[in-house]
Amino acid sequence: MSTSSLHNLMITTVGAGNMAYSLITGLIQAGVPAKALRAADVSATQLDRFRALGVPAFEDNAAATADAHIVLVAVKPQVLQPVLKALSLRREQLVISIAAGIPLRTLQDATASDQPIVRCMPNTPALVGAGITGLYANSFVTPALRTQAAALLSSVGRVLWLEDESLLDAVTAVSGSGPAYFFYVMEAMIKAGIELGLEPDVAATLTVETAWGAAKLARESQTTPATLRANVTSPGGTTARALAIMNDAGMADAIVRALHGAAERSAELAREF
């Protein structure tokens, strides 16, 4: 998505962690001038890498957001409410929260009653420009503001709008936590490769490249993962033997139950806040 809707806007990130850094970097690479961006954090050390990009850095959150059009909130959930309340935001400023588990009602309580807010769930592949983000907007977010939010998040990957805020729990389970599931499988594959006699670096390279290739094939193919799996599985062959063992171990059911558990925990965290 083009970042043209962000031209002439001031964008401030409150919180200078890895996700904020990836978004700022993505925006610059997409053509947004560094001078139109700001980074705020109480840690001066965290701000050094933003300064290296030419982005103005602030240790005062309120000063950094005073004239911002978009305020990206990228702080830990535990401190989000006091941080937001201390900003004195104006009603015309768009707030985008990437804080996991913080529901809109909590964000609304810490800002104006009619503050336009977009809540979203990016994932860690955003750090390399390959993220996927689910977004949900409250009723005060206009079509123009929706376009701005989508343009900002699409600088680090794809975006999907959701029709119901509760679906963010499912997004968290599938894509927010999802990279860890794939890393878990990759760990096991590397371990098996080493046990089968491969050098650790060889086992790791084979696993990572296979994962990347399979994901690329699934993304670019006109068919489903189930069909792609069937295409690789010759009757009586090596793949069939491996998949049979996985099925006997109940691997598919375990994955489904795990994602349900992740979604339930996401909903629990929202209730806690």
**Domain extents in the chain:** 4-168, 178-272
**CATH homologous superfamily for the domain 178-272:** ProC C-terminal domain-like (1.10.3730.10)
Torsion of CA 187, 189, 194, 195, to 10 degrees: 110
Give the per-residue pLDDT at 111: 94
Please report how many Cα atoms fall inside a 13 Å half-sphere around the Cα of residue 226, on the Cβ side.
Answer: 1
Identify whether the C-beta of residue 137 lies closer than 8 Å to the C-beta of residue 146.
yes
DSSP secondary structure string for all residues of 191-255? HHHHHTT--HHHHHHHHHHHHHHHHHHHHH-SS-HHHHHHHH--TTSHHHHHHHHHHHTTHHHHH
Q: 10-residue block means of pLDDT along the chain (273 residues)?
A: 83 95 93 95 91 96 96 92 92 94 92 95 93 97 96 95 96 96 98 98 98 97 96 96 98 98 92 80
Give the per-residue pLDDT at 175: 96
Q: Which two tokens stand for residue 262?
A: 């992740």
For the entire predicted model, the pTM comes to 0.91
Please report how many Cα atoms fall inside a 13 Å half-sphere around the Cα of residue 84, on the Cβ side.
Answer: 28
Identify whether the C-beta of residue 4 lies closer than 8 Å to the C-beta of residue 144.
no
Give the per-residue pLDDT at 61: 95
Give the per-residue pLDDT at 1: 65
Give the per-residue pLDDT at 43: 87
Give the per-residue pLDDT at 215: 97
DSSP 156: G
**Is 3.20.10.10 the CATH classification of the domain at 4-168?**
no
Residue 43 CA to residue 16 CA, distance in Å, equals 8
